[in-house]
Amino acid sequence: MELLTDIVFVYLTLYWINILMYCVLLGLIPAAIARNKGYSFGKWWLYGSFLFIVALPHSILLKPNKVGIERKRLEEGFRKCPFCAEFINKNAVICRFCGRSLPEEIYEEINENPEEIDIVKCLKCAEKIEDPKAIFCSKCGAKLIPEIPEEELINADSIDKYLR
């Protein structure tokens, strides 16, 4: 009789461990959906682990948290364009969405490191250009600007004639 109770105890223990593992794994689904919408992964993982049947449709119907998404993008190293408010690479000189050049004070913040000033970069995606004779950027395909007279300020109006 004692052997039978030991077998039943082991079986029930393994059964509950399997149930717990499935709950933990299923909780990852609503957590991943909520994280992409700007919410906390950990909180949604716990919610999904305990109440998966409720948490999954809740996470699917959830509206995006704009503040959370913006915070995540800023932590990833992006910055907002001051003109169109889209997220751009922090090293970009021209916004890839609106095509306007960033103000000088922002450009000076980007180039605080004096060693990086002489490096040729694409003005749209800020990718380092290896070949000094390249016509197009290897990353984004944008046409690179030929030599621009030093006395001419670069802005959205003057750059058009160099991009054609």
Count of other CB atoms within 10 angstroms of residue 38:
18
Q: What amino acid is encoded at 71 in this protein?
A: R
103 pLDDT more than 80: no
Average pLDDT of 83-88? 85
Most confident among 26-35, 69-78, 100-109, 154-163 (mean pLDDT): 26-35
Distance CA 36, CA 38 (A): 5
DSSP string, 140-156: T-PBPP----TTSPP-H
| pLDDT tens, residue by residue, 36-71 | 898 989 999 999 999 999 999 999 999 988 888 888
Domain boundaries, the chain: 2-69, 79-164
Show Cβ contacts of residue 10 under 8 Å, excluding neighbours closer than 6 positions: none
pTM, 2 dp: 0.50
Distance CA 128, CA 138 (A): 9
112 pLDDT more than 60: no
Distance CA 74, CA 85 (A): 12
Q: Which candidate, 80, 81, 88, 161, places its Cα nearest to that of 122?
A: 88
Q: What amino acid is encoded at 133 in this protein?
A: K
98 pLDDT more than 90: no
128 pLDDT more than 50: yes
Report the pLDDT value the prediction gives residue 73, as an integer from 0 to 100.
Answer: 84
Work out the pLDDT band at 163, boundaries 50, 70, 90: low
Residue 118 DSSP code: T
The pair of three-digit structure tokens given for residue 118, joined into one six-digit string: 């002489």
Distance CA 4, CA 11 (A): 11
